[in-house]
Amino acid sequence: MSSALEAVRRDFGGDIIEPGAAEYESASRSVLAAGSPVYVLRPETVADVRAGVRFAAGTGLVLSVRGGGHGFAGFGTNDGGVVIDLSRLANVQVIDDERHLVRIGGGATWGQVAAALAPHGLAISSGDTRSVGVGGLTLSGGIGWKVRKYGLALDNLAAAELVTASGEVVNASAEENQELFWAIRGGGGNFGIVTSFDFVAHPTTDVFYGRITFPATEAAAVLQGWADYLRTAPEELTSVADFANPFAGGPEAPVEIHVAFDGDNPDLAAQAIDPIRRLGTVTGDNVALVPYEDMLVDGMTPPPGIELVTRSAFVRKESVSEVLQILTEAGASGRSPFIAVHSVGGAVARVPDDATAYAYRQAELMIVTTTVGPKPVVQAARPALAAIWGRLAPHVDGAYANFLASATEEDVAAVYPGETYQRLAAVKRQYDPGNLFARNHNVLPQ
């Protein structure tokens, strides 16, 4: 090990942080998981990433790749292994003004991207939180406030540069290494470290954004009406419904319909949003015109000892009513997790199913439950959570890797159904036959 460490110290321009170093405490953890890695490497350049990958492979230790560090399953750290933390590869540059092509470092966050693109009048279909990483979110999907108009974050990816398990640099796009390009759009971090992403951004004005709230007692009618309306709503409108928030009264918590209208025309925005206002008794409405950048929220790091169990699934049109009914009943029961229902469809569903490794394009909704609290509270909530998901199982499809706190074989099969998994495994055999990149919803090379 020591000769490998000496070699990497020679070739590596960034920091190597070991236990005992002043920065170790913060460097060892990802946002949602504590860890005790032996080395945290912070590369500054692609050459550093190559040296880091070769070093990690040589140690035989488990390797975590950290983008923004927000993964729910805690893949961004480990115990006793190596972490390659990409946070210094965060440059954001418009590389083609006419095509709105933007090159983004593999460790940038969406807040950095939004801030850098705002002066150009551009934004990328991404997520809702500033501190979330471009890497993790994009490689498994990316469902954000422009999703119905411009699709998933990965649908806006034009090319990527990766360092593979052998330390080689490869490019992936529609022209080069097409099968790898297919795989990294949905297959997560299985195939290498993405050092830069080229995205097509979209001209972006200020947007209408806010929250319209309804009493919990109207949840069933509001949610059904909301889902029905979204089938015909303009695609400029993207919406998320939250309810049963344990920090806002649990079963009594209001139903919050978050709306984002991609445009600054007040009449068009009102036409799109008013039908939602008519779904029930509005108890709050703070929809306002805001810069896109301000619509993103700051993420929170939970205090030590707090656990999060996040589960997700997709819902096709024919199951929407049944699923919303089950979730509404669960929300009213007093033993419910926090429930969020995301509208998808629109541009997501127009991309052919086999164009990328993201497997659930035909879903109308993506549902997420989050159980949060100290370990005993989370443990005590598990039977009720299992019962809810047991009821949902016949009506939902798969799971969204980005909202999944576990990574069992069942989870991996849910994220990558049959044919998708087989095709990903063939790409894995080519680019990572030794499964160096295994801290993810792992596709085995066998």
Ligand X SMILES: Cc1cc2nc3c(=O)[nH]c(=O)nc-3n(C[C@H](O)[C@H](O)[C@H](O)COP(=O)(O)OP(=O)(O)OC[C@H]3O[C@@H](n4cnc5c(N)ncnc54)[C@H](O)[C@@H]3O)c2cc1C
Provide the residue type at 343 as one letter.
S
**By CB under 6 A, what part of segment 280-299 binds ligand X?**
299
Q: Does 402 participate in binding ligand X (rule CB under 6 A)?
A: yes
Binding-site member from 39, 75, 150, 314 for ligand X (CB under 6 A)? 75
- Rounded CA-CA distance 14/12 in Å is 6
**By CB under 6 A, what part of segment 24-53 binds ligand X?**
30
Helix (H, G, I), strand (E, B) or coil at 393: helix
Could you give the string, one character per residue 78-117, with x where binding to ligand X holds by CB under 6 A and - elsewhere? --------x-------------------x-----------
Which is nearest to 368 in space by CA: 396, 347, 340?
A: 340
Closer residue to ligand X (CB): 388 or 401: 401
Closer residue to ligand X (CB): 190 or 279: 190
Q: Does 193 participate in binding ligand X (rule CB under 6 A)?
A: yes
Provide the residue type at 199 as one letter.
F
Closer residue to ligand X (CB): 72 or 226: 72
Closer residue to ligand X (CB): 220 or 290: 290
Count, residues near ligand X per rule CB under 6 A: 36
Q: Does 189 participate in binding ligand X (rule CB under 6 A)?
A: yes
Distances (CA, A) of 224 to 158, 219, 260, 328, 342: 37, 8, 19, 10, 13
Residue 217 is given by DSSP the state G
Which residues lie closer than 8 Å to 198 by C-beta, 6 or more apart?
95, 101, 102, 103, 104, 157, 158, 159, 160, 173
**By CB under 6 A, what part of segment 124-153 binds ligand X?**
127-129, 132-133, 135-137, 139, 141-144
Among the listed ranges 185-193, 201-209, 270-278, 316-324, the one in contact with ligand X (CB under 6 A) is 185-193
**By CB under 6 A, what part of segment 227-256 binds ligand X?**
none
240 touches 338 (CB < 8 A): no
Closer residue to ligand X (CB): 90 or 222: 90
Q: Name the minimum Å distance from CB 195 to ligand X.
A: 7
- Rounded CA-CA distance 11/220 in Å is 60
189 touches 440 (CB < 8 A): yes
Q: Does 65 participate in binding ligand X (rule CB under 6 A)?
A: yes
CB neighbourhood size of 25 (10 A): 11
Closer residue to ligand X (CB): 105 or 280: 105
Q: Strand locations in 139-223, DSSP E?
A: 157-163, 169-173, 193-200, 202-203, 207-214
Cα dihedral 32, 33, 39, 45 in deg (nearest 10): -20
Q: Does 69 participate in binding ligand X (rule CB under 6 A)?
A: yes
Please report, as ranges, the residues that interact with ligand X according to CB under 6 A. Answer: 30, 64-72, 75-76, 86, 106, 127-129, 132-133, 135-137, 139, 141-144, 188-189, 193-194, 299, 402-403, 439-440
